[in-house]
Protein backbone atom coordinates (compact mmCIF):
# COMPACT_ATOMS: atom_id res chain seq x y z
CA UNK A 1 0.00 0.00 0.00
CA UNK A 2 1.33 3.48 -0.83
CA UNK A 3 0.71 6.39 1.47
CA UNK A 4 -1.25 9.31 -0.08
CA UNK A 5 0.62 12.62 0.00
CA UNK A 6 -0.93 14.96 2.54
CA UNK A 7 0.01 18.33 4.03
CA UNK A 8 -2.05 17.59 7.14
CA UNK A 9 0.06 18.27 10.18
CA UNK A 10 -0.31 17.49 13.86
CA UNK A 11 0.07 20.41 16.28
CA UNK A 12 3.51 19.99 17.85
CA UNK A 13 3.01 22.70 20.46
CA UNK A 14 -0.32 21.23 21.62
CA UNK A 15 1.36 17.82 21.81
CA UNK A 16 4.23 19.18 23.90
CA UNK A 17 1.92 21.13 26.19
CA UNK A 18 -0.14 18.01 26.88
CA UNK A 19 3.00 15.96 27.53
CA UNK A 20 4.08 18.57 30.07
CA UNK A 21 0.59 18.66 31.62
CA UNK A 22 0.63 14.87 32.04
CA UNK A 23 4.17 15.10 33.49
CA UNK A 24 2.81 17.34 36.28
CA UNK A 25 1.05 14.23 37.63
CA UNK A 26 3.60 12.39 39.75
CA UNK A 27 6.31 14.98 39.03
CA UNK A 28 9.57 14.28 40.92
CA UNK A 29 12.18 16.83 42.11
CA UNK A 30 14.72 15.85 39.42
CA UNK A 31 12.24 16.44 36.60
CA UNK A 32 10.95 12.92 36.17
CA UNK A 33 7.72 11.22 37.16
CA UNK A 34 6.64 8.62 39.69
CA UNK A 35 3.30 7.27 38.46
CA UNK A 36 3.42 3.68 39.72
CA UNK A 37 0.64 1.60 38.25
CA UNK A 38 -2.76 1.53 40.02
CA UNK A 39 -1.76 4.10 42.64
CA UNK A 40 -3.65 7.29 43.43
CA UNK A 41 -1.19 9.16 41.17
CA UNK A 42 -1.89 6.73 38.31
CA UNK A 43 -5.61 7.36 38.88
CA UNK A 44 -5.04 11.08 38.45
CA UNK A 45 -3.20 10.47 35.19
CA UNK A 46 -5.96 8.15 33.98
CA UNK A 47 -8.65 10.65 34.93
CA UNK A 48 -6.86 13.46 33.07
CA UNK A 49 -6.46 11.21 30.02
CA UNK A 50 -10.15 10.25 30.14
CA UNK A 51 -11.21 13.93 30.40
CA UNK A 52 -9.07 14.87 27.39
CA UNK A 53 -10.56 12.01 25.35
CA UNK A 54 -14.14 12.78 26.35
CA UNK A 55 -13.60 16.45 25.46
CA UNK A 56 -13.02 15.20 21.91
CA UNK A 57 -16.21 13.16 21.96
CA UNK A 58 -14.35 9.85 22.14
CA UNK A 59 -16.19 7.00 23.85
CA UNK A 60 -13.95 5.75 26.70
CA UNK A 61 -14.32 2.21 28.02
CA UNK A 62 -12.30 0.42 30.70
CA UNK A 63 -11.72 -3.32 30.86
CA UNK A 64 -11.41 -5.65 33.85
CA UNK A 65 -7.69 -4.99 34.36
CA UNK A 66 -7.99 -1.24 33.83
CA UNK A 67 -6.91 -1.02 30.18
CA UNK A 68 -8.55 2.14 28.74
CA UNK A 69 -9.83 2.36 25.13
CA UNK A 70 -10.96 5.71 23.67
CA UNK A 71 -12.91 5.13 20.46
CA UNK A 72 -13.43 7.47 17.47
CA UNK A 73 -16.08 6.18 15.09
CA UNK A 74 -15.32 5.74 11.41
CA UNK A 75 -17.59 5.87 8.37
CA UNK A 76 -17.94 2.07 8.34
CA UNK A 77 -18.77 0.65 11.78
CA UNK A 78 -18.40 -2.88 10.48
CA UNK A 79 -14.66 -2.42 9.99
CA UNK A 80 -12.37 -3.49 12.86
CA UNK A 81 -10.72 -0.52 14.57
CA UNK A 82 -7.14 0.59 14.08
CA UNK A 83 -5.53 0.81 17.54
CA UNK A 84 -2.75 3.09 18.73
CA UNK A 85 -1.46 3.73 22.25
CA UNK A 86 1.04 2.90 24.96
CA UNK A 87 1.10 3.32 28.78
CA UNK A 88 0.81 6.11 31.38
CA UNK A 89 2.30 4.17 34.29
CA UNK A 90 5.98 4.84 35.03
CA UNK A 91 8.99 3.48 36.83
CA UNK A 92 9.42 4.57 40.49
CA UNK A 93 11.87 7.22 39.28
CA UNK A 94 10.98 7.35 35.62
CA UNK A 95 10.99 9.91 32.85
CA UNK A 96 8.28 12.15 31.43
CA UNK A 97 8.16 10.43 28.04
CA UNK A 98 8.43 6.62 28.48
CA UNK A 99 4.89 5.49 27.57
CA UNK A 100 3.33 8.94 27.80
CA UNK A 101 4.65 9.89 24.35
CA UNK A 102 2.63 7.08 22.76
CA UNK A 103 -0.59 7.83 24.63
CA UNK A 104 -0.44 11.62 24.31
CA UNK A 105 0.87 11.28 20.74
CA UNK A 106 -2.23 9.20 19.96
CA UNK A 107 -4.38 11.85 21.60
CA UNK A 108 -2.78 14.45 19.34
CA UNK A 109 -3.64 12.29 16.32
CA UNK A 110 -7.26 12.21 17.50
CA UNK A 111 -7.25 16.00 18.04
CA UNK A 112 -5.79 16.60 14.56
CA UNK A 113 -8.39 14.36 12.91
CA UNK A 114 -11.04 16.44 14.65
CA UNK A 115 -9.45 19.76 13.63
CA UNK A 116 -9.32 18.66 10.00
CA UNK A 117 -12.81 17.19 10.05
CA UNK A 118 -11.46 13.86 8.83
CA UNK A 119 -13.72 10.83 9.14
CA UNK A 120 -11.72 7.68 8.52
CA UNK A 121 -13.26 4.56 7.00
CA UNK A 122 -12.38 2.40 10.00
CA UNK A 123 -12.87 3.38 13.63
CA UNK A 124 -9.74 4.31 15.59
CA UNK A 125 -9.11 3.47 19.25
CA UNK A 126 -6.49 5.01 21.54
CA UNK A 127 -5.26 2.69 24.32
CA UNK A 128 -3.72 3.26 27.73
CA UNK A 129 -2.45 -0.17 28.82
CA UNK A 130 -2.32 -1.00 32.53
CA UNK A 131 1.04 -1.68 34.21
CA UNK A 132 3.43 -1.83 31.28
CA UNK A 133 6.41 -1.31 33.56
CA UNK A 134 6.01 -4.29 35.89
CA UNK A 135 7.96 -2.58 38.68
CA UNK A 136 5.12 -2.71 41.27
CA UNK A 137 3.68 -6.20 40.72
CA UNK A 138 6.67 -7.92 39.09
CA UNK A 139 5.21 -8.66 35.64
CA UNK A 140 5.81 -6.15 32.86
CA UNK A 141 3.26 -5.75 30.02
CA UNK A 142 0.62 -6.87 32.56
CA UNK A 143 -2.43 -5.13 31.06
CA UNK A 144 -1.65 -5.98 27.45
CA UNK A 145 -0.64 -9.48 28.56
CA UNK A 146 -4.01 -10.00 30.28
CA UNK A 147 -5.82 -8.62 27.20
CA UNK A 148 -3.85 -10.87 24.86
CA UNK A 149 -4.44 -13.98 26.98
CA UNK A 150 -0.76 -14.34 27.94
CA UNK A 151 -1.43 -13.96 31.68
CA UNK A 152 -4.48 -15.76 33.17
CA UNK A 153 -6.77 -13.22 34.83
CA UNK A 154 -6.93 -15.00 38.20
CA UNK A 155 -3.13 -14.90 38.32
CA UNK A 156 -3.10 -11.20 37.38
CA UNK A 157 -5.64 -10.21 40.05
CA UNK A 158 -3.73 -12.19 42.72
CA UNK A 159 -0.30 -10.62 42.08
CA UNK A 160 0.82 -8.63 45.14
CA UNK A 161 3.19 -5.68 45.54
CA UNK A 162 5.85 -5.29 48.25
CA UNK A 163 3.22 -4.18 50.78
CA UNK A 164 1.01 -7.18 50.02
CA UNK A 165 -1.60 -5.21 48.04
CA UNK A 166 -3.09 -7.27 45.19
CA UNK A 167 -3.77 -6.05 41.67
CA UNK A 168 -7.50 -6.59 42.31
CA UNK A 169 -7.39 -4.46 45.47
CA UNK A 170 -5.38 -1.75 43.73
CA UNK A 171 -7.78 -1.64 40.76
CA UNK A 172 -10.76 -1.31 43.11
CA UNK A 173 -9.00 1.31 45.24
CA UNK A 174 -8.70 3.65 42.24
CA UNK A 175 -12.00 2.65 40.64
CA UNK A 176 -10.48 1.27 37.43
CA UNK A 177 -11.64 -2.32 37.43
CA UNK A 178 -13.85 -1.79 34.39
CA UNK A 179 -16.96 -3.69 33.23
CA UNK A 180 -15.52 -4.73 29.87
CA UNK A 181 -13.75 -8.09 29.50
CA UNK A 182 -9.96 -7.85 29.31
CA UNK A 183 -9.98 -10.01 26.23
CA UNK A 184 -8.91 -9.74 22.62
CA UNK A 185 -11.33 -8.16 20.17
CA UNK A 186 -11.02 -7.97 16.39
CA UNK A 187 -8.77 -5.05 15.45
CA UNK A 188 -7.13 -4.20 12.17
CA UNK A 189 -3.73 -3.06 13.43
CA UNK A 190 -1.88 -1.53 16.36
CA UNK A 191 0.70 1.26 16.19
CA UNK A 192 2.79 2.35 19.19
CA UNK A 193 4.90 5.50 19.31
CA UNK A 194 7.66 5.28 21.94
CA UNK A 195 11.06 6.76 22.75
CA UNK A 196 13.92 4.40 21.86
CA UNK A 197 15.24 4.33 25.44
CA UNK A 198 18.69 3.65 23.99
CA UNK A 199 21.51 5.56 22.24
CA UNK A 200 21.30 4.35 18.62
CA UNK A 201 19.03 6.96 16.96
CA UNK A 202 20.74 9.88 18.67
CA UNK A 203 24.20 8.49 17.88
CA UNK A 204 23.31 8.07 14.19
CA UNK A 205 21.40 11.39 14.08
CA UNK A 206 18.19 9.69 13.04
CA UNK A 207 14.78 11.18 13.84
CA UNK A 208 12.70 8.03 13.43
CA UNK A 209 13.23 4.38 14.32
CA UNK A 210 11.30 1.98 12.08
CA UNK A 211 10.90 -0.79 14.63
CA UNK A 212 10.91 -4.27 13.06
CA UNK A 213 10.52 -6.18 16.34
CA UNK A 214 11.47 -6.46 20.00
CA UNK A 215 14.19 -8.61 21.56
CA UNK A 216 13.73 -11.73 23.66
CA UNK A 217 13.72 -11.66 27.46
CA UNK A 218 13.24 -13.81 30.54
CA UNK A 219 12.46 -12.64 34.10
CA UNK A 220 13.00 -14.51 37.40
CA UNK A 221 12.25 -13.93 41.07
CA UNK A 222 14.98 -15.18 43.44
CA UNK A 223 14.80 -15.84 47.19
CA UNK A 224 17.93 -16.81 49.08
CA UNK A 225 17.46 -18.16 52.59
CA UNK A 226 20.29 -18.30 55.16
CA UNK A 227 19.99 -17.55 58.87
CA UNK A 228 19.76 -14.26 60.76
CA UNK A 229 22.54 -14.10 63.34
CA UNK A 230 24.64 -11.65 65.31
CA UNK A 231 27.27 -9.76 63.27
CA UNK A 232 29.64 -9.59 66.21
CA UNK A 233 29.50 -13.08 67.66
CA UNK A 234 29.03 -15.37 64.65
CA UNK A 235 32.34 -16.76 63.34
CA UNK A 236 32.81 -17.50 59.63
CA UNK A 237 32.20 -21.26 59.91
CA UNK A 238 28.75 -20.65 61.49
CA UNK A 239 27.52 -18.03 59.05
CA UNK A 240 24.68 -18.55 56.55
CA UNK A 241 24.81 -15.11 55.02
CA UNK A 242 22.05 -14.69 52.41
CA UNK A 243 23.51 -11.42 51.15
CA UNK A 244 26.92 -12.95 50.43
CA UNK A 245 25.17 -15.76 48.55
CA UNK A 246 23.08 -13.22 46.63
CA UNK A 247 26.23 -11.31 45.73
CA UNK A 248 27.65 -14.43 44.08
CA UNK A 249 24.48 -14.87 42.02
CA UNK A 250 24.47 -11.19 41.04
CA UNK A 251 28.07 -11.48 39.88
CA UNK A 252 27.06 -14.58 37.88
CA UNK A 253 24.27 -12.61 36.14
CA UNK A 254 26.77 -9.93 35.15
CA UNK A 255 29.29 -12.51 33.87
CA UNK A 256 26.64 -14.31 31.81
CA UNK A 257 25.74 -10.98 30.24
CA UNK A 258 29.35 -10.01 29.42
CA UNK A 259 30.03 -13.47 27.99
CA UNK A 260 27.53 -12.47 25.25
CA UNK A 261 29.32 -9.29 24.21
CA UNK A 262 27.58 -5.99 23.49
CA UNK A 263 24.25 -7.70 22.73
CA UNK A 264 24.14 -9.24 26.21
CA UNK A 265 21.75 -7.88 28.82
CA UNK A 266 21.61 -9.21 32.41
CA UNK A 267 20.25 -7.16 35.31
CA UNK A 268 19.39 -7.42 38.98
CA UNK A 269 17.34 -4.26 39.55
CA UNK A 270 15.37 -4.99 42.66
CA UNK A 271 16.80 -6.34 45.96
CA UNK A 272 15.38 -6.66 49.46
CA UNK A 273 17.55 -7.60 52.45
CA UNK A 274 15.79 -9.10 55.47
CA UNK A 275 15.91 -8.02 58.29
CA UNK A 276 18.09 -5.25 56.81
CA UNK A 277 19.70 -4.35 60.13
CA UNK A 278 23.33 -3.27 60.12
CA UNK A 279 24.43 -5.66 62.90
CA UNK A 280 22.46 -8.73 61.75
CA UNK A 281 23.80 -11.21 59.21
CA UNK A 282 20.95 -11.28 56.63
CA UNK A 283 18.85 -14.41 56.81
CA UNK A 284 16.90 -13.71 53.61
CA UNK A 285 17.45 -11.80 50.38
CA UNK A 286 14.80 -11.38 47.65
CA UNK A 287 15.81 -10.06 44.25
CA UNK A 288 14.87 -9.84 40.59
CA UNK A 289 16.87 -11.29 37.69
CA UNK A 290 16.33 -10.61 34.00
CA UNK A 291 18.17 -11.49 30.80
CA UNK A 292 17.57 -10.14 27.27
CA UNK A 293 19.07 -10.77 23.87
CA UNK A 294 18.16 -10.16 20.20
CA UNK A 295 18.50 -13.91 19.57
CA UNK A 296 15.70 -16.02 21.05
CA UNK A 297 18.07 -19.01 21.30
CA UNK A 298 20.37 -17.09 23.65
CA UNK A 299 17.51 -16.28 26.01
CA UNK A 300 16.30 -19.88 25.86
CA UNK A 301 19.84 -21.03 26.72
CA UNK A 302 20.11 -18.56 29.59
CA UNK A 303 16.64 -19.47 30.91
CA UNK A 304 17.57 -23.14 30.87
CA UNK A 305 21.15 -22.90 32.19
CA UNK A 306 20.93 -20.09 34.75
CA UNK A 307 19.09 -22.01 37.54
CA UNK A 308 21.77 -24.70 37.83
CA UNK A 309 24.60 -22.17 37.55
CA UNK A 310 23.01 -20.07 40.28
CA UNK A 311 22.68 -23.06 42.59
CA UNK A 312 26.36 -23.84 42.01
CA UNK A 313 27.30 -20.21 42.74
CA UNK A 314 25.92 -20.37 46.29
CA UNK A 315 27.64 -23.67 47.15
CA UNK A 316 29.40 -23.51 50.51
CA UNK A 317 27.35 -20.56 51.80
CA UNK A 318 24.96 -22.72 53.80
CA UNK A 319 22.07 -20.95 52.04
CA UNK A 320 19.30 -22.18 49.77
CA UNK A 321 18.05 -20.55 46.56
CA UNK A 322 14.45 -20.60 45.29
CA UNK A 323 14.24 -19.36 41.71
CA UNK A 324 10.89 -18.75 39.97
CA UNK A 325 10.69 -17.99 36.26
CA UNK A 326 8.00 -15.30 35.84
CA UNK A 327 7.79 -15.13 32.06
CA UNK A 328 9.83 -15.33 28.91
CA UNK A 329 9.25 -14.40 25.30
CA UNK A 330 11.34 -14.77 22.15
CA UNK A 331 12.23 -12.14 19.58
CA UNK A 332 8.87 -10.70 18.52
CA UNK A 333 8.79 -9.58 14.87
CA UNK A 334 6.27 -6.88 13.89
CA UNK A 335 3.97 -6.94 10.87
CA UNK A 336 5.81 -6.14 7.61
CA UNK A 337 2.83 -4.26 6.14
CA UNK A 338 2.47 -2.02 9.19
CA UNK A 339 6.23 -1.57 9.48
CA UNK A 340 6.25 -0.48 5.84
CA UNK A 341 3.62 2.20 6.54
CA UNK A 342 5.96 3.61 9.18
CA UNK A 343 8.94 3.40 6.81
CA UNK A 344 7.03 5.11 3.98
CA UNK A 345 5.72 7.86 6.25
CA UNK A 346 9.20 8.72 7.50
CA UNK A 347 10.55 8.69 3.96
CA UNK A 348 7.76 10.87 2.56
CA UNK A 349 8.14 13.33 5.41
CA UNK A 350 11.87 13.46 4.80
CA UNK A 351 12.75 12.33 8.30
CA UNK A 352 16.12 10.53 8.60
CA UNK A 353 15.22 7.03 9.74
CA UNK A 354 16.71 3.60 10.32
CA UNK A 355 15.36 0.17 11.09
CA UNK A 356 15.83 -1.00 14.66
CA UNK A 357 14.98 -3.91 16.97
CA UNK A 358 13.66 -2.75 20.33
CA UNK A 359 15.86 -3.51 23.34
CA UNK A 360 12.97 -2.66 25.63
CA UNK A 361 9.76 -4.63 25.96
CA UNK A 362 6.54 -2.85 24.98
CA UNK A 363 2.81 -3.58 24.99
CA UNK A 364 3.23 -3.99 21.24
CA UNK A 365 5.04 -7.26 21.94
CA UNK A 366 1.95 -9.03 23.28
CA UNK A 367 -0.51 -7.17 21.07
CA UNK A 368 1.44 -8.27 17.98
CA UNK A 369 0.72 -11.88 18.84
CA UNK A 370 -2.91 -11.20 17.87
CA UNK A 371 -3.03 -8.28 15.44
CA UNK A 372 -0.69 -6.69 12.87
CA UNK A 373 1.54 -4.33 14.84
CA UNK A 374 4.34 -1.82 14.33
CA UNK A 375 6.20 0.71 16.46
CA UNK A 376 7.72 4.11 15.83
CA UNK A 377 10.77 5.21 17.84
CA UNK A 378 12.09 8.69 18.51
CA UNK A 379 15.53 9.46 19.97
CA UNK A 380 16.17 10.27 23.62
CA UNK A 381 19.05 12.34 25.01
CA UNK A 382 22.14 10.23 25.78
CA UNK A 383 19.92 7.16 25.22
CA UNK A 384 18.82 7.59 28.83
CA UNK A 385 15.50 6.19 30.08
CA UNK A 386 14.11 4.71 33.30
CA UNK A 387 15.81 7.77 34.74
CA UNK A 388 14.30 11.07 35.88
CA UNK A 389 16.60 12.94 33.50
CA UNK A 390 15.02 11.25 30.45
CA UNK A 391 14.74 13.97 27.87
CA UNK A 392 13.59 14.49 24.26
CA UNK A 393 13.19 17.54 22.04
CA UNK A 394 9.76 18.90 21.04
CA UNK A 395 10.57 18.50 17.35
CA UNK A 396 11.40 14.82 17.93
CA UNK A 397 8.05 14.26 19.65
CA UNK A 398 6.28 16.07 16.80
CA UNK A 399 8.06 14.04 14.11
CA UNK A 400 7.17 10.76 15.80
CA UNK A 401 3.58 11.87 16.19
CA UNK A 402 3.37 12.94 12.54
CA UNK A 403 4.55 9.49 11.45
CA UNK A 404 1.97 7.92 13.75
CA UNK A 405 -0.74 10.14 12.22
CA UNK A 406 0.22 9.17 8.66
CA UNK A 407 0.48 5.44 9.37
CA UNK A 408 -2.78 5.23 11.30
CA UNK A 409 -4.66 7.33 8.72
CA UNK A 410 -3.38 5.20 5.85
CA UNK A 411 -4.29 1.98 7.62
CA UNK A 412 -7.74 3.22 8.64
CA UNK A 413 -8.53 4.26 5.05
CA UNK A 414 -7.01 1.32 3.24
CA UNK A 415 -8.97 -0.64 0.66
CA UNK A 416 -10.63 -3.59 2.35
O1 LIG B 1 11.42 -3.23 30.79
C2 LIG B 1 11.12 -2.79 29.69
O3 LIG B 1 11.66 -3.19 28.69
C4 LIG B 1 10.06 -1.72 29.55
O5 LIG B 1 10.70 -0.48 29.47
N6 LIG B 1 9.13 -1.72 30.65
MN1 LIG C 1 7.58 2.10 28.02
MN1 LIG D 1 9.65 1.64 30.74
Q: Output the CA 87–ligand 3 centroid distance in Å.
A: 9
Output the residue whose Cα is nearest ligand 1's atom 6: 133
Task: Name the helix (H) or strand (E) containing 323.
Answer: strand 320-329
Q: What is the pLDDT of residue 6?
A: 63
Q: What is the pLDDT of residue 2?
A: 63
- The dihedral region occupied by 141, where left means phi > 0, alpha psi between -120 and 50, and beta the remainder, is left
Q: What is the pLDDT of residue 1?
A: 61
Q: What is the pLDDT of residue 416?
A: 83
Q: Read off the pLDDT of residues 379-411 as tens digits, 9 standing for 90 and up.
A: 999 999 999 999 999 999 999 999 999 999 999
Q: Output the CA 319–ligand 2 centroid distance in Å.
A: 36
Q: Read off the pLDDT of residues 269-324 as tens digits, 9 standing for 90 and up.
A: 999 999 999 999 999 999 999 999 999 999 999 999 999 999 999 999 999 999 99
216-329: which CATH number, 3.30.70.360, 1.10.3720.10, 3.40.50.360, 3.90.226.10?
3.30.70.360
- The residues spanned by each domain of the chain are 12-215+331-412, 216-329
* Predicted model pTM: 0.95
Q: Report the distance separating Cα 188 and Cα 411, nearest Å.
A: 8
List all residues whose CB is within 6 A of at least one atom of ligand 1: 132-133, 140, 360-361
Q: What is the pLDDT of residue 344?
A: 97
Side-chain-facing half-sphere of 415: CA atoms under 13 Å = 4
Q: What is the pLDDT of residue 345?
A: 97
- Which residues make Cβ contacts (< 8 Å) with residue 29, sequence separation at least 6? none
Q: Which atom of ligand 1 is nearest to the CA of 361?
A: 3
Q: What is the pLDDT of residue 7?
A: 76
Q: Which atom of ligand 1 is nearest to the CA of 140?
A: 6
Residues in the chain predicted with pLDDT less than 70, given as ranges, are 1-6
**383 three-state secondary structure:** helix
Closest ligand to the CA of 86: 2
12-215+331-412: which CATH number, 2.60.120.200, 1.10.540.10, 3.40.630.10, 3.30.70.20?
3.40.630.10
Q: Output the CA 413–ligand 1 centroid distance in Å.
A: 32
Q: Output the CA 254–ligand 2 centroid distance in Å.
A: 24
Side-chain-facing half-sphere of 113: CA atoms under 13 Å = 32
Amino acid sequence: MTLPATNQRIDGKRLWDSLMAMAEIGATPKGGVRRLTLTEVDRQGRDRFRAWCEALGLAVRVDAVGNMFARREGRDPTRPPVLMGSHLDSQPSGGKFDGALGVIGGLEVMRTLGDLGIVTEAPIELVNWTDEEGSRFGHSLLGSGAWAGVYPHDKVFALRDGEGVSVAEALDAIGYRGPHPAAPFLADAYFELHIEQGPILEHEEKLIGVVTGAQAQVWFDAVITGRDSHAGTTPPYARRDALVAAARVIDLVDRLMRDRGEDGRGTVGQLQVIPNSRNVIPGEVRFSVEFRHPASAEVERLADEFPALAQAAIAGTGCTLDLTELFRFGLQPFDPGCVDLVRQAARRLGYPAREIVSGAGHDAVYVSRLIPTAMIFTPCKDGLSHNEEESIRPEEAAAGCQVLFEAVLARANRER
